[in-house]
């Protein structure tokens, strides 16, 4: 018989490719996690991870065993959820861009957590491009992501406008007919590409004065007045202002939920449905 705690530790390590990250998720020391994985490998009679200085990765046997581990944990959590009076049980990993996490995360996570106090929700904050990679690698279970051009099959929950932001109502006017300094997120993000595209179409001069995936960093630069930034409208702090008189209009982006697996577990699907019901009204 396999201890379910060993399976949970194994799945966390497989998703994160890291002993230290798994240790944080299961509230154990790194040495304890290593010992748990060694116990599991002894029980199943196979080496489940390749170990190196850069981390761990599943062996071929580990890839096969992960399918069974997920299935066992899913069945266990579903059974407990059906017969428990305290809601869903187990853990899920939820990915979310930082601006959505600030704007929508508290309401979505707190309300779901209150209904299911035995459920552990692990949150990963990253841009959409990185979240989609994590979904493909099954390191997270579901994510709230953005799309610049919603397709007919996309279940868009809401459209979020991108806006120029500065520390004064008409800050952009002082840069008129000059090179405009911009504070943008990394070059692979939608807001960065959208900002550059509309500036180039409008034939306005600009330079990237600051680049960071940290929303806190972008807010700090916008507050300083050293550059104009781009945020989703819901993420604008109350002390900053939309710059709309000189700069060209930015596009809207669609917000939707994506899953790591085609058939998510009942627990993951329940949280996804919760987001779909509540996000449009926030």
What is the full DSSP assignment across 213-264? Answer: S-HHHHHHHHHHTSSEEEEEGGG--TT-EE--SSSPPPPEEEEEEEESSSS-
pLDDT in tens, 117-167: 888 888 989 999 999 998 988 888 999 999 988 877 789 999 999 999 999
Between CA 150 and CA 92 the distance in angstroms is 26
Between CA 262 and CA 258 the distance in angstroms is 10
Residue 180 CA to its chain's centroid (Å): 31
Mean pLDDT of the chain: 88
- Say if residue 88's pLDDT is above 90: no
Query: What is the per-residue pLDDT for 172?
Result: 65
pLDDT in tens, 171-203: 766 765 678 999 999 888 999 999 999 999 999
Helix 266-278 and helix 98-115: axis angle, to 10°? 110
Q: How big, in percent rounded to 5, are the helix, strand and coil portions of the chain?
A: 45, 20, 30
Between CA 81 and CA 63 the distance in angstroms is 27
- H or E segment to which residue 189 belongs: none
Between CA 152 and CA 131 the distance in angstroms is 22
Query: What is the per-residue pLDDT for 104?
Result: 93
Between CA 180 and CA 219 the distance in angstroms is 17
**Going from the N-terminus, what domains does the chain have, and what CATH number goes with each?**
1-83 (1.10.10.10), 159-251 (3.40.190.10)
């Amino acid at each position: 018989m396999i201890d379910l705690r060993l399976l949970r530790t194994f799945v966390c390590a497989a998703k994160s490719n890291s002993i230290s990250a798994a240790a944080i998720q299961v509230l154990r020391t790194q040495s304890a996690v290593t010992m748990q994985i060694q116990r599991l490998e002894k029980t199943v009679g196979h080496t489940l991870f390749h170990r190196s200085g850069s981390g761990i990765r599943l062996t071929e046997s580990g890839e096969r065993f992960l399918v069974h581990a997920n299935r066992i944990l899913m069945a266990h959590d579903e059974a407990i959820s059906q017969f428990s009076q305290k809601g869903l049980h187990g853990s899920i990993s939820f990915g979310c861009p930082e601006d959505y996490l600030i704007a929508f995360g508290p309401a979505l996570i707190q309300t779901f957590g209150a209904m299911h106090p035995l459920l552990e929700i692990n949150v990963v904050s990253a841009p959409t491009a990185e979240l989609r990679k994590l979904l493909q690698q099954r390191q997270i279970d579901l994510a709230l992501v953005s799309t610049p051009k919603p397709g007919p099959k996309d279940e868009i929950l809401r459209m979020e406008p991108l806006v120029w932001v500065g520390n004064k109502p008409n800050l952009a006017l002082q840069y008129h007919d000059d090179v405009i300094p911009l504070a943008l997120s990394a070059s692979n993000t939608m807001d960065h590409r959208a900002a550059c595209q509309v500036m180039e179409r409008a034939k306005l001069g600009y330079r990237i004065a600051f680049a960071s995936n940290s929303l806190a960093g972008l807010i700090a630069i916008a507050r300083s007045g050293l550059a104009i930034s781009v945020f989703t409208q819901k993420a604008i702090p109350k002390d900053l202002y939309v710059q709309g008189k000189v700069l060209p209009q930015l596009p809207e982006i669609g917000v939707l939920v994506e899953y790591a697996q085609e058939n998510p577990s009942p627990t993951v699907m329940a949280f996804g449905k919760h987001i779909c019901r509540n996000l449009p009204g926030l």
